[in-house]
């Protein structure tokens, strides 16, 4: 009853308190004098006193509170509207007071959320700068080492000169991959990806990507397969070249991180208006603790092995952005010593 009272309630409580004090005073006097007619006067006094006191207190509170509340209300709106013109006028009514309370609470909540967002962005910026510095440092350091060795006389040593030039070139290419991927992910995150939607056979696209892996699969004797139970073909509606990039990344990773004599298998499943595409391998698998972070920028479940194999560390993050640009989803499941499966959905032609 007394929690967050309105102006009218405050005025009523105050008038009752004041009236009770005077009423008790007059009751004591009339009791001592024993006058019956005095009781009528007391009754009239109570009614008149409550009405007058209520009106005076309510008006006083309004006059005292109104200007201060109006100033607070105006300041809140100036901050929230960032300079936009204020609409309407603030009146000292119960509804207005309730609205001010709601606006203040909302303002505080919004400010807390904004502060948390800024803190998250600051943490992200710090982590991003640390990650990118770490990724760039290794190839730059290697290039410097090879070139300085050649300048200091290594160029005349036929045993190392060509080899060191090739290594420096490989590291320069790695730098180029990192820069290209950074440019691409910046474009994706800023919403600049323009999809060129078309209809195509997803199985045929997987077959094309399989053919591009022929050299690396031969070196590790890895077989590229289709799930025999999902031989049905599906025509999907998507950006073919971007989906090719998604498949290239997932299949290349499945081959690179697989063991000798392993296999990579593609499967397709009908899911209502969508088709689920899965790329699975029977490699060493990924520990569960790493799975929630696989699509984070520069995240590597096995950092040492990943850098030995190559790549920018941004591939899966780019894949995720491409799939989400199609308003679809991507997921991963894995078990150590059993293998890893990446799956994503695309809209299909019905």
pLDDT digits 0-9 by tens, 180-205: 877 777 777 777 778 899 999 999 99
With vertex at residue 157, the alpha carbon angle to CA 151 and CA 162, rounded to the nearest 5 degrees, is: 80
How many Cβ atoms are within 10 Å of 275's Cβ, its own excluded?
23
pLDDT digits 0-9 by tens, 241-291: 999 999 999 999 899 888 888 999 999 999 989 999 999 999 888 888 888
Question: Per this entry, what is the length of the chain?
Answer: 350
DSSP assignment letter at 228: G
The arrangement of secondary structure in 197-347, i.e. its CATH architecture, is: 2-Layer Sandwich (3.30)
pLDDT of residue 197: 93
**Domain residue extents for the chain:** 7-92, 111-189, 197-347
With vertex at residue 189, the alpha carbon angle to CA 186 and CA 245, rounded to the nearest 5 degrees, is: 75
> Distance between the two ends of the chain, CA-based, in angstroms?
62
pLDDT of residue 171: 86
The arrangement of secondary structure in 111-189, i.e. its CATH architecture, is: Orthogonal Bundle (1.10)
pLDDT of residue 176: 84
DSSP assignment letter at 230: G
């Amino acid at each position: 009853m007394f929690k967050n009272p309105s102006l009218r309630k405050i005025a009523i409580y105050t008038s009752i308190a004041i009236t009770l004090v005077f009423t008790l005073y007059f009751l004591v006097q009339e009791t001592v004098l024993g006058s019956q007619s005095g009781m009528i006067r007391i009754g009239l006094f109570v009614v008149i006193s409550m009405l007058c006191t209520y009106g005076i207190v309510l008006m006083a509170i309004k006059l005292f509170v109104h200007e201060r509340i109006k100033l607070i209300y105006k300041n809140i709106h100036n901050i929230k509207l960032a300079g936009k013109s204020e609409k309407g006028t603030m009146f000292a009514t119960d509804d207005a007071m309730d609205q001010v309370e709601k606006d203040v609470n909302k303002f505080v909540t919004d400010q807390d959320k904004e502060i948390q967002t800024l803190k998250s962005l600051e943490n992200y910026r710090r982590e991003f700068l640390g990650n990118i510095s770490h990724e760039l440092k290794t190839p730059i350091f290697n290039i410097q080492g090879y070139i300085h060795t050649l300048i200091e006389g290594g160029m005349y040593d036929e045993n190392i000169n060509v080899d060191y030039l090739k290594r420096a070139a490989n590291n320069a290419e790695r730098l180029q991959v990192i820069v290209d991927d950074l440019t691409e992910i910046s474009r994706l995150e800023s919403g600049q990806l323009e999809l060129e939607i078309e209809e195509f056979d997803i199985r045929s696209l997987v077959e094309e990507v399989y053919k591009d892996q022929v050299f690396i699969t031969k070196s590790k004797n890895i077989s590229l397969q289709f799930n025999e139970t999902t031989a049905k073909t599906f025509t999907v509606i998507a950006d073919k070249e971007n989906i090719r990039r998604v498949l290239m990344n997932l299949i290349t990773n499945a081959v690179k991180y697989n063991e000798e004599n392993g296999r990579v298998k593609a499967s397709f499943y009908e899911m209502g208006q969508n088709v689920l595409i899965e790329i699975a391998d029977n490699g060493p698998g990924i520990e569960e603790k790493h799975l929630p972070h696989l699509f984070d920028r520069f995240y590597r479940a096995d950092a040492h092995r990943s850098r030995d194999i190559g790549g920018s560390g941004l591939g899966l993050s780019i894949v995720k952005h491409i799939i989400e640009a199609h308003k679809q989803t991507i997921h991963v499941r894995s078990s150590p010593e059993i293998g890893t499966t990446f799956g994503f959905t695309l809209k299909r032609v019905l």
